[in-house]
Amino acid sequence: MITAICPGSFDPITLGHLNIVRRASRIFERVVVLVMVNAAKPSPMFSIAERADMIRRVTAGMGNVEADTCNGLLAEYAKRFEHPVVVKGLRASTDFEAEFQMAQINNAINPGLETMFLTSSEKYTFLSSSVVRELAAYGSDLSDFVPREIIDEVLAKARTHGGKTNG
Ligand code: ADP
């Protein structure tokens, strides 16, 4: 069985992420949405556990999707699966360089670990977690950007978080 791993910060999960996860779940038998610690984004809005919990709730209707967390290297994490493949969303050309580099590094650490890309759906090309955090800090309507199950807690967290936007 091929296991698709969709890694990211998911701080918080957006409709753009969810679109990629849903499409991966139609292609692969099993999908693991992996919440990773990102040292480049040092001041997250949500804890790793909170992010995984939100992912579990918004993917509850997708039977072959699960959430997990990882504070190490993706290439090492992937070794626990017999046939893993990393699945990522590509928004615009700006994502390309970094994703290309990461795919090659992962493959060097864990030979045989392939990365596949799904192009972002047109309406989510400009959507990122940082845009969501920015809008939430101003109490904006988030219904076009995050799954409805988590809108209230993203807005509530933004009120207590003081509108920090890192990455
Ligand atoms: P962000 O850049 O929003 O903080 P992450 O670091 O959590 O997102 O990204 C995880 C993965 O999801 C990356 O492969 C990224 O390209 C992809 N992704 C993020 N937002 C979108 C989107 N709107 N459409 C498609 N893929 C996306």
Q: What is the pLDDT along the chain (167 residues), one digit of tens a residue?
A: 999 999 999 999 999 999 999 999 999 999 999 999 988 877 899 999 999 999 999 999 999 999 999 999 999 999 999 999 999 999 987 788 899 999 999 999 999 899 999 999 999 999 999 999 999 999 999 999 999 999 999 999 999 876 444 44
- The reply, when asked if residue 91 is annotated as ligand binding, is yes
46 lines ligand 1 (CB under 6 A): no
> Is 17 tagged catalytic?
yes
Which ligand 1 atom minimizes the distance to the CA of 6? Answer: 11
Q: What is the pLDDT of residue 166?
A: 47
Residue whose C-alpha is closest to residue 113's, from 87, 82, 75: 75
Distance 83 CA to ligand 1 centre (A): 23
Q: What is the pLDDT of residue 162?
A: 66
Q: What is the pLDDT of residue 112?
A: 85
Give the number of C-alpha atoms closer than 13 A to the C-alpha of residue 15, restricted to the C-beta side: 18
Contact yes or no for 83/112 (Cβ under 8 A): no
Q: What is the pLDDT of residue 167?
A: 46
Stated pTM of the model: 0.93
Question: Cα–Cα distance between 127 and 81 in angstroms, integer?
Answer: 30
Pairing of strands 65-70, 83-90: unpaired
Q: What is the pLDDT of residue 69?
A: 98
Q: What is the pLDDT of residue 95?
A: 84
